[in-house]
Structure 1
Amino acid sequence: MTPAGAWTKAFAALLAAAIVIPVLAVAPLAFSEQSFLQLPPQDWSVRWWGVFFGDASWIRALLTSLEVAALSCLLSVTTGTSAALGLLRLGPRMRALATGLFLGPMVAPVIVLAVGLYALARSLGLVGSTIGLVLAHTMLALPYVVLNVGVSVAGLDPRLALAASGLGASPWRVFRTVTLPSILPGMLGGGIFAFVTSFDEVVLAVFLAGPSVKTLPVRIWEEVRVEYTPVVAVAATIMIILAVIGSAMGRLVTRRTA
């Protein structure tokens, strides 16, 4: 390894540590005995885990987050896969334009999207509803599915579908037996990223959530504004665990695809 390469890797490792270590510092706070946050805790306990799982509002927020993330994942995978397959049939200019539209939510500021979606959802009566949250999170997660499935579609040999059609297979049978197995890793990877994106989203959820429909990030945000106790660290730790599991699964799928 050249000296320049070693310095580059060392700088990347320091940058990653600066980002990850403050996030991981939340975990020890979840096992504190005190009613205030102190790092490291003076006494260790699982007291606040019992408070979290004994509070119906926290459990309801966790279940709502899982429900919204699962529905957003399913909807974004279905829509994103159709979009990735459709982009393949467009000309170069139209494909570039359509791809830019699908990837727009990745580059646009989330607060701008939140304000626009809030105005639209309010006119449709979707503020404070699960459907409104699912549709908003699907918009954010859709680019990840289009990108992942698009990579799989780009590597698909079109002669396989032509050969299947020439042998008398119907379009649905060609998709089910030839196209779907080839793009399935991309669909799985995109679905995992979509789930994690939806589960961790807070800005859109703050705008679109209601008294009876709150995701876990919104519940954390409300708790921090009122009383910052270690139960917030418990909720954050659960989110970190689920995000790490999702990222590891996405990495595994990516490696298998490669």
Structure 2
Amino acid sequence: MRRFKPSSQALTQIAGAVVLAFLVMPIFAVVPASFNQASFIKIPPEELSLQWYSAFIEDRGWMSSLFNSIRVALLTTAIALVIGTLAALGVERLPKRMRPFVIGAVLSPLIVPVIMISIALYYVTRSIGLYGTVTGLALSHALICVPFVLLNVSVSLQRLDPNLARAASGLGARPGYVFRTVTLPAIWPGVASGGAFAFVLSFDEVVISLFIAGYGAKTLPVKLWEQIRVEFTPVAAVGSTLILTFTVVLFILTRLSARKRNSAAEGSQ
């Protein structure tokens, strides 16, 4: 009888799945905790109930923070997409010797500790009147979201044949039309991935939000932080579950969109 010997690739995939499960499963533990009928966190819950979801919806503070998070994340995504995409297009046209310096400058917010960035943004937003506003918070979040858009769009730009844009320009198309019909459809997977990263980072960001949000633009992570400092009830698990749900659904939609576009591109070839 022939014995089954798993290949090294299969062993690597199994090990990766185990490590991923070890890292992810504690995060998903908040989901059953949000359906707990008791007034305290217990995993697994003895009885299931939606009472804490009702309490979340009926609480004006929780709902206000949720809508603030969505508004800030959408505005941050729009700002980061515009700046990051333009930066990626500009870097692609620079001489190769200058590209590392420009990319390093754009990626520098990822190197500086977030607490230092938060302190600096606090003083800047206070001085220009944007402290405690959705606009100020979105601009602050965009600072750390732009690098992810730049990286994702740059990867898509490297796969783009520059002769396509040159051919369109040679046929008389204007730069704006070339970008809409040639460049943007080709780099759309990178734009979509960068937008997903920007939305999730903004929606989950807590350190910068603690410094900039104030009372008028309190987001869901800030509300969670304040609630946990007082007491950790299943309502906080509901908020954590909503954040987790937004993140998972957004990345699934992004992956499906990218796979569909890649399939259409392969079919056209």
Indicate the TM-score class for this superposition, using the shorter chain for normalisation: over 0.9
Alignment of 1:187-226 (within 5 A): 187-226=191-230
Deviations 1:128-170 (A, max 9, x none): 1111110111111111111111112112212122211221112
Q: Is the 8 A contact 1:186 1:257 kept in 2?
A: no
Equivalent position amino acid for 2:107 in 1: L
State the TM-score, normalizing by the size of structure 1: 0.94
Equivalent position amino acid for 1:153 in 2: L
CA distance in 2, matches of 1:120, 1:66: 24
Q: Secondary structure at the match of 1:243?
A: helix
CA distance in 1, matches of 2:57, 2:92: 48
CA distance in 1, matches of 2:94, 2:26: 45
CA distance in 1, matches of 2:154, 2:257: 15
Deviations 1:97-128 (A, max 9, x none): 11111122233322222222223222323221
Equivalent position amino acid for 1:39 in 2: I
Alignment of 1:156-171 (within 5 A): 156-171=160-175
- 2:79 — aligned with what? 75
1:18 to 22, 28, 37: 22
Whether 2:102 is the aligned partner of 1:98: answer yes
Unaligned regions of 5+ residues in structure 2, if any?
263-269
Q: Give the superposition deviation at 1:92.
A: 1.2
CA distance in 2, matches of 1:102, 1:149: 13
CA distance in 2, matches of 1:3, 1:155: 32
CA distance in 1, matches of 2:148, 2:196: 9
Equivalent position amino acid for 2:201 in 1: T
CA distance in 1, matches of 2:60, 2:215: 14
CA distance in 2, matches of 1:149, 1:257: 15
CA distance in 2, matches of 1:187, 1:170: 22
How many equivalent pairs are there? 258
State the TM-score, normalizing by the size of structure 2: 0.90
RMSD: 1.7
Q: Give the superposition deviation at 1:7.
A: 4.2
Deviations 1:22-79 (A, max 9, x none): 1111011111111111112222110100000001111100000000000000111111
Distance 1:28 1:78, change over 3 A: same
Q: Is the 8 A contact 1:161 1:178 kept in 2?
A: yes
Q: Secondary structure at the match of 1:92?
A: coil
Alignment of 1:44-63 (within 5 A): 44-63=48-67
Alignment of 1:1-258 (within 5 A): 4-256=8-260
Equivalent position amino acid for 1:131 in 2: T
Judge which range, 145-154 or 121-130, deviates more: 121-130
Q: Secondary structure at the match of 2:86?
A: helix
Q: Secondary structure at the match of 2:97?
A: helix
Equivalent position amino acid for 2:162 in 1: P
